[in-house]
A and B are shown apart, each in its own frame.
Chain A
Amino acid sequence: MSFGRARSRRWRDWSERGIRWSLFCASFFSVFVTFAILVILAKESFLFFGFEEVSIGEFFGSTEWNPLLGGEKHFGIWPLVCGTMLVTVIAACFALPIGLTAAVYLSEYARPTTRAILKPALEVLAGIPTVVYGFFALTAITPILHSIAPRFGNYNAMSAGLAIGIMILPIVCSLSEDALRSVPRSLRDGAYALGGTKFDVSVKVVVPAALSGIVASFLLAMSRAIGETMVVALAAGGIAQMTAEPWAEVQTMTAYMVQIFLGDAPANGVEYASSYAVAAVLFTITLSFTLVGRYILKRFREEYE
């Protein structure tokens, strides 16, 4: 009897330990993935800078990106960063104001029934695959832009930017709304008691109180826009250039990577290696957005308890 109990306990201890270990290994896998990302990007970028056509000074200093066409090759990252930023800024100009006002409406004004319909509708928008937005940009937004101003060609930054704006709109709206709703009732009640109108309460009390969450949602949405691939691959065109004109054809960092991996660039060539360096830059930019967002959320959060 006692022997049996002891054995079963030992068995239990061992299986407990085994399960604990396997779960720990599972959770360590995510750390391993991060490690793999860093190592792969660093190693391949290092190889890229080993090519004689390339130098770190040119990569971060030159404003010419010309890796594929015949003649002299130039690897200056700025045109790609500029294209990415142009598209992102257009998307942000569209999505941030609309997303925030929609969030304020949903959280402060809308009746519960209205909210119960609108919020899931916006979440549907968030679940649509990005390639659908690319298709929408190409077949709906671009023709409309072209009919408004003919200088918008078949591919332009504006169309891609607007489509990405539509894409990140639900992220901004949903996360900002969460931040607004987490502001405690007592703050609103106090403001109303002082004679504030709904406008006063929302804009002067609730929005400032939720500002850290709102800014974090903005940053998250922007980092999504920066990393977005399918929309720009379809609608933004393929010319890497330094421009701030929304009707111009631009190439973003992600679109360049698609072009390389879809094309016939030889696996050991300099163009191929360059895409890893571009990926490293993209990774660094989005990571810093995420980290800054988290920092703001932590540092500037107003605690109301």
Chain B
Amino acid sequence: MSTPSLNEFVARGRLRGSAARVLSNRVFLWFCLAGTTLAVLVLFALLFSIFLDGWSALSWDFLTQFASRKPAASGIRGPLWGSVWVCAICALTALPLGIGTAIYLEEFAPKNRVTGFINLNIMNLAGVPSIVYGIIGLTAFARMFGGFGTAADPTVLLGYTYYNEYESVDGDIVRVRVEGIDRAGVVETTGVQACLARWNLWIAHPAPAGALQDGAQVEVLTVTDDGEESWRSATAHIQGDAEETARVGETKSISVSALAAATATTQVREGSWWSISLPFGSSVLAGGLTLMLVILPVVIISSQEALRAVPSSLRQGALALGSTRWQMVREMTLPAAIPGIMTGAILAMSRAIGEAAPLLVLGGFLLVFATPENLMSDFTVLPLQIYNWAGRPQASFHELAAAAIIVQLVVLLVFNGLAVLIRQKLQKNLQ
């Protein structure tokens, strides 16, 4: 028996009431379908228009060049590496903190008011706009409440090596390492004349103020004919006056280039990757920590959900066998919950990759022509670069923005795919 069609219902006058209901049912179905279709269409329109805009600008050069004022020579090398650094710092800080919090709240904490308060608090943190986190990051990390001086003149510097820098007439640079100094400053020297023999630096009297002594180890930037630069170690010899020094150098070695008389040399500092200065300024470290604040609640909530999904029979079994709480967590709960936790972590990281507002507040470094070298390096990230290009009036920059968006979306797609893969591969049926 088939349902009578709408017309048949309408034809039977007696059933007018139900005809209206059938009509309303059908209209509503169309209404719902239209809403859903519109939502999906919008998604397609968005992706399609971006691909149309950006496809032509996408190339290998685009990935490996730095940003430039000329659209044709522009690329996203800086923001790509900036994103990698910032997200790595963010993951290294947010994941242990977030997962640890979730483990404590789900497995250790007594169900009392304090725990309830912490839970409520995390829910509220998840609703705080990311730009507010940006302001907090700016105040707490980048400026450190103004308690350590400014970012340009930091109070505390750890892990840096200081060099006095001398420039020669033909553009060579000699760096002399300064020992026993913990702050950068300018060392004024007069009448320095030096010449560079291979791996030996000959410097005339008087020696530059500072710690340069006879026999000191220095670093010399040598530039080959095809422009390749490299730093080499050398030994400093202080001897005679300028001309004499030059002569000494000549007699000592084959290739000699004279250094100009430098009236004032600058002092530079060079950090290793872990060097830290306080305050952090607009550095990758400050950026990563700010993003940590943004995604921490997300990580906590998703990890809590993953832990809650572990059946309590597993816990009871472990406890009944005499294990401590931590042994139970380590051996039973965590292995069972790890797929869910990892999925949540990856989704949280994909949020971190796309965040622009907090980093915009933090630094606003919109044009960066270098990849980060240490924790204190300036940086930009992909969404910031997209913002920068999208905000310009020229259409050619809009193309670049669209191309960068394509790269960003591909990265996100990979992340989401990973999450799905992990969920499917690792999930065991525990019920």
Contact = CB atoms under 8 A, between A and B. Distances in A.
B129 interface: yes
Judged by DSSP, the binding face of B is helix
A227 interface: yes
A26 interface: yes
Interface string B392-431: 0000001001100100110010001000000000000000
Nearest to B351: A127
Interface residues of B, number: 82
Given A134-B390, A202-B28, A227 B132 contact: yes
Nearest to A285: B129
A69 interface: no
Given A105-B36, A258-B361, A33 B293 contact: yes
A220 interface: yes
A30 B300 contact: yes
13 contacts: A23-B108, A33-B296, A109-B32, A122-B40, A127-B350, A136-B50, A138-B390, A199-B24, A199-B29, A228-B129, A229-B360, A262-B364, A275-B135
Report, as a range, how many residues of chain A touch the other chain.
Answer: 35 or more
A264 B148 CA distance: 22
Interface stretch (A14-22, A49-57, A60-68, A186-194): A14-22
Interface in A103-140: 104-106, 108-110, 118, 121-122, 124-125, 127-136, 138-140
B357 A283 contact: no
Given A27-B118, A169-B39, A229-B130, A130 B139 contact: no
Nearest to B45: A140
Contacts of B24: 197, 199
Interface in B219-261: none
A178 interface: no
Interface of A: 12, 15-16, 19-20, 22-24, 26-31, 33-34, 36-37, 40-41, 44, 97-102, 104-106, 108-110, 118, 121-122, 124-125, 127-136, 138-140, 166, 169-170, 173, 197-200, 202-203, 220, 223, 226-230, 233-234, 254, 257-258, 261-262, 275-276, 279, 282-283, 286-287, 289-291, 294
B128 A287 contact: yes
Contacts of B46: 125, 128, 132-133, 136, 140, 166
Contacts of B140: 36, 40
B25 interface: yes
Interface in B367-396: 383, 386-387, 390-391
A261 B383 CA distance: 17
B97 A26 contact: yes
A230 B357 contact: yes
Contact of B32 (A15, A36, A101, A276): A101
Interface in B271-303: 293, 296-297, 300
Given A26-B100, A30-B122, A127 B131 contact: no
A135 B354 contact: no
B125 interface: yes
Contacts of B402: 135, 139
Contact of B42 (A105, A169, A199, A294): A169
A162 B29 CA distance: 25
A283 to B, nearest CB: 5
A124 B129 contact: no
Contacts of B132: 37, 41, 227, 279, 282-283
B4 interface: no
Contact of B39 (A30, A99, A229, A282): A99
Residue of A33, A170, A223 most packed against chain B (CB within 10 A) = A33
Contact of A199 (B25, B134, B297, B353): B25
A223 B42 CA distance: 22
Nearest to B347: A127
A121 B41 CA distance: 11
Given A40-B135, A131-B390, A132-B405, A20 B39 contact: no
Nearest to A235: B390
Interface string B170-203: 0000000000000000000000000000000000
Contacts of A276: 135
Contact of A227 (B39, B131, B355, B416): B131
Given A27-B105, A275-B135, A286 B129 contact: yes
Contacts of A275: 135
A139 B391 CA distance: 10
B57 to A, nearest CB: 13
A131 B386 contact: yes
Contacts of A121: 40, 43
A255 B387 CA distance: 13
Given A20-B108, A30-B122, A105-B36, A262 B360 contact: yes
B91 to A, nearest CB: 15
Interface in B14-62: 21-22, 24-25, 28-29, 31-36, 38-40, 42-43, 45-46, 49-50, 53
A226 B127 CA distance: 11
A165 to B, nearest CB: 9
A27 B390 contact: no
A158 to B, nearest CB: 15
B325 interface: yes
Given A129-B386, A129-B412, A135-B402, 18 more contacts: A23-B101, A26-B100, A30-B121, A30-B297, A30-B300, A33-B296, A40-B136, A127-B350, A127-B416, A131-B386, A135-B401, A140-B46, A166-B42, A203-B28, A223-B127, A227-B128, A254-B357, A261-B134
Contacts of A229: 129-131, 356-357, 360
A127 B412 contact: yes
